Amino acid sequence: MSLTVTPLTPAVGAEVGNVDLKLLDTDEFARIERAWHRHSVLLFREQTLSDDDLLAFSRRLGELDPPPNQERGRISPPGYPDVYVVSNVLDEKGEPIGALGAGEATWHTDMSYLDLPPDASMLYALEIPATGGDTYFCGMQAAWAALPAALQAKLRGRRIKHDGTFNSGGYVRQGVTATDDPHRAPGAWHPAVCAHPITGVPALYLGRRRNSSIEGLSQAESDALLDELWDHATAPEFVYRHRWRLGDLVLWDNRSTMHRRDPFDNAARRVMHRTQIKGKWPPRAHVAAA
């Protein structure tokens, strides 16, 4: 049977069926890449991947990007520095084997606090709790398209600060001094509306809410507008909720989505392995057609 692509919501996400990511031929990979550019998030069920398989599939999308600096630095499985472990599990010494614990991970785009954020990330489910720990993705192209024209006009030509102090679990990154001042916080300024480098489709680009600021506005004006934009972008009509099954791999486009995760029972085990693909181009402002 040939590969199938079934949309998960009108705004974002598609499930790719009849495919084994270990055995992709050139034509299948090309179809996956096209579907990814169109839907921003792709779900592949029932995969059986070793870390080597995960890395091999990841490399087909581009050069690997090192994992993010988290509350305890970068945590990878032994011998796999390009794999990032997201987990609440402790090792035999009582140390976490991964990052983010069992709490909520708030909405964010991966590593957009860098000048060159990763193009893509993917998460592979190795152990999952019976309940909780669902991951949500919002489609920032659909969110931009649905913004009132006056708001779009207000945002064009402006940049937004993407904070690098805190990770999505609310932890301060290793080696960083905590601050709640957007202008002192480490991070990057990126255009508020970016063009997708392959398709040209515009997307709202918010990154993280904490320590964010819109260029050219007072902090009070910026906070009011950011709150409005965040409420809009994360409204249910732009969101796909993913309920994990073992063997799921979810690939997302960091340029056109944000994601968050529900908390789960810390007595349960959740182990996910993540890779990410280095950005090929820095985020570029979308210019409206004349």
Contact residues for ligand SIN, defined by CB under 6 A: 86, 100, 105, 123, 135, 168, 259, 261, 272, 274
Q: How far is the CB of 71 from ligand SIN (least distance, A)?
A: 13
Looking at the Cβ atoms of 136 and 238, the one nearer to ligand SIN is 136
Shortest distance (Å) from residue 192 CB to ligand SIN: 22
Q: How far is the CB of 242 from ligand SIN (least distance, A)?
A: 8
CB of 168 to ligand SIN, least distance (A): 5
Question: Closest CB to ligand SIN among 168 and 257?
Answer: 168
Using the minimum distance from each CB to ligand SIN, give the nearer residue, 72 or 183.
72
> Side-chain half-sphere of 127: how many Cα atoms within 13 Å?
13
Q: How far is the CB of 244 from ligand SIN (least distance, A)?
A: 8
- CB of 123 or CB of 249, closer to ligand SIN: 123
Which is nearer to ligand SIN, 232 or 242 (by Cβ)?
A: 242
Task: Using alpha carbons, select from 247, 171, 236 the residue that is nearest to residue 208.
Answer: 171
Q: Which is nearer to ligand SIN, 203 or 272 (CB)?
A: 272
d(CA 156, CA 149): 11
- Nearer to ligand SIN by Cβ, of 75 and 123: the residue is 123
Q: Report the chain's terminal Cα–Cα distance, integer Å.
A: 46
User: Could you tell me which residues come within 8 angstroms of residue 184 by beta carbon, excluding any fewer than 6 positions away?
Assistant: none
